[in-house]
């Protein structure tokens, strides 16, 4: 079964020039029928209650049928239309969104979480009066947080979307079931008007190895490989491995303790309690934003007043905690 029914070449210029693309009838008819079946019967998908925002929408993780060429067909299409690096394409979300009957007809605009370099909406059931509204020509700063709501919480009153978008040019898309819309989700303010009853499949992608929610099938495979590598080394040296910051890393924070307001460092993976890290370990994480051999990482970032052994021990701890991962050899 195909997922899409369009030639990416036909939409590449549109996306490059205007920062979004509306692909009328872009979903393959057979796949659309499958999505509509799932939409009608959300019992077939696992409900993720922790995502539910009351009065707005329910979200459920969507499992693609095994008969689709998932995720490669999506990677091929989005890399081509949006100009992303095909080799490093990463899926960061695949949720069916079901807007509740009491969803606000005029919600506040939001920007999707940081990993949503491209947000792809597949329209399943769209009420006649519902519209997807994008602001692709103004205020395109990146949401650096791993949640839409976190960006809103960090804005000052004069930076809120309802203030900065007052004179912005809006694009109102009257999408219909079967349509596909692609836009820069983490950089574009957007909202859905008259959303009550609408059902969409949203897939979010990037080409920089970021999948905090762990929804790309290859993210778990990478973690598995890391744990196998650690087990095989059995406390000995990790020879010749290439490491990178984990796809699941959610945040790194400086926190002030109660009482004497001492600064401590902590990191967290999505959905897990934070763990303390040292300044030396933070240097390793900074250095591992790009994939590199562990030996070189330690050389460049680690030693800084510490022994090589200590730096390797720091790296090993970050691998164990899941802040770093070992990449499989190409
Ligand atoms: Fe969104």
- Please list all protein residues whose beta carbon sits less than 5 angstroms from ligand 1, which is an ion: 112
Kindly give, in sequence order, each residue whose CB lies less than 8 Å from that of residue 291, ignoring residues fewer than 6 positions away: 242, 243, 244, 327
Convert 36-82 into a string of H (helix), E (strand) and C (coil).
HHHHHCHHHCEECHHHCECCCEEEEECCCCCCCCCCHHHHHHHHHHH
Among candidate residues 109, 112, 157, 116, the one with its CA nearest the CA of residue 134? 109
Asked whether residue 50 is domain-assigned, the answer is yes
**Orientation angle between helical segments 308-321 and 279-287, nearest 10 degrees:** 70
Q: Does the predicted model carry a pTM greater than 0.85?
A: yes
Name the average pLDDT for the chain: 93
* 36-70 pLDDT, tens digit each: 999 987 634 434 554 554 445 567 899 999 999 99
Tokens describing residue 288: 């591992």
Instruction: Output the domain CATH number for residue 240.
Output: 3.30.390
Look at the chain and report how many structural domains it folds into: 2
Give me ligand 1 centre to Cα 134, in Å.
Answer: 10
Give me ligand 1 centre to Cα 110, in Å.
Answer: 6
Question: Which is more confidently placed, 129 or 308?
Answer: 129
Is the same domain home to 234 and 163?
no
Is the same domain home to 193 and 262?
no
Instruction: Output the domain CATH number for residue 125.
Output: 2.60.120.620
- The string of DSSP letters for 265-308 reads EEEEETTS--EEE-HHHHHHHHHTTS-EEHHHHIIIII-TTS-H
* 67-99 pLDDT, tens digit each: 999 999 999 999 999 999 999 999 999 999 989
Q: Around Cβ 196, how many Cβ atoms within 10 Å?
A: 17
Name the DSSP letter for residue 261: -
Q: How confident is the model at residue 302 (pLDDT cuts 50, 70, 90)?
A: low
Instruction: Let me know: does 204 contact 143? Beta carbons within 8 Å.
Output: no
Print the domain residue range for 32: 9-206
* 129-154 pLDDT, tens digit each: 999 999 999 999 999 999 999 999 99
Among candidate residues 117, 135, 24, the one with its CA nearest the CA of residue 79? 117
Q: How many residues would you count in the chain?
A: 330
pLDDT of res. 175: 98
Last residue of a domain, one of 147, 171, 206: 206
Asked whether residue 118 is domain-assigned, the answer is yes
Give me ligand 1 centre to Cα 252, in Å.
Answer: 24
């Amino acid at each position: 079964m195909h997922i899409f029914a369009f030639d990416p070449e036909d939409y590449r210029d549109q996306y490059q020039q205007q920062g979004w693309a509306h692909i009328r009838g872009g979903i393959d008819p057979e796949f659309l029928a499958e999505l509509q079946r799932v939409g009608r019967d959300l019992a077939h998908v696992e409900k993720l209650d922790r995502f539910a925002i009351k009065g707005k929408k329910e979200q459920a993780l969507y499992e693609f049928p095994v008969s689709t060429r998932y995720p490669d067909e999506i990677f091929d299409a989005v890399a081509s239309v949006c100009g992303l690096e095909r080799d490093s394409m990463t899926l960061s979300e695949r949720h069916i969104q079901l807007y509740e009957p009491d969803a606000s007809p005029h919600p506040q605009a939001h920007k999707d979480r940081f990993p949503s370099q491209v947000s792809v909406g597949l329209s399943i059931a769209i009420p006649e009066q519902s519209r997807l509204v994008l602001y692709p020509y103004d205020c395109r700063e990146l949401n650096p947080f791993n949640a839409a709501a976190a960006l809103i919480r960090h804005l000052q009153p004069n930076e809120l979307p309802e203030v900065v978008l007052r004179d912005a040019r809006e694009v109102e898309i009257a999408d219909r079931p079967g349509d596909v819309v692609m836009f820069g989700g983490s950089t574009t303010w957007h909202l859905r008007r008259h959303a009550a009853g609408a059902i969409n499949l949203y897939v979010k992608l990037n080409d920089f190895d970021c999948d905090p929610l762990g929804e790309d099938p290859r993210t778990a495979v990478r973690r598995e490989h890391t744990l196998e590598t650690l087990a095989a080394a059995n406390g000995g040296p990790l020879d010749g491995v290439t490491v990178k910051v984990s796809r699941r890393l959610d945040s790194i924070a400086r926190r002030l303790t109660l009482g004497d307001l001492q600064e401590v460092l902590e990191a967290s993976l999505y959905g897990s309690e934070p763990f303390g890290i040292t300044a030396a370990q933070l240097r390793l994480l900074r250095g591992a934003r790009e994939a590199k051999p562990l030996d070189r990482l330690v050389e460049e970032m680690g030693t800084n007043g510490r022994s090589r052994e200590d730096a390797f021990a720091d790296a090993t701890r970050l691998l164990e905690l899941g802040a770093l991962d070992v990449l499989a050899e190409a």
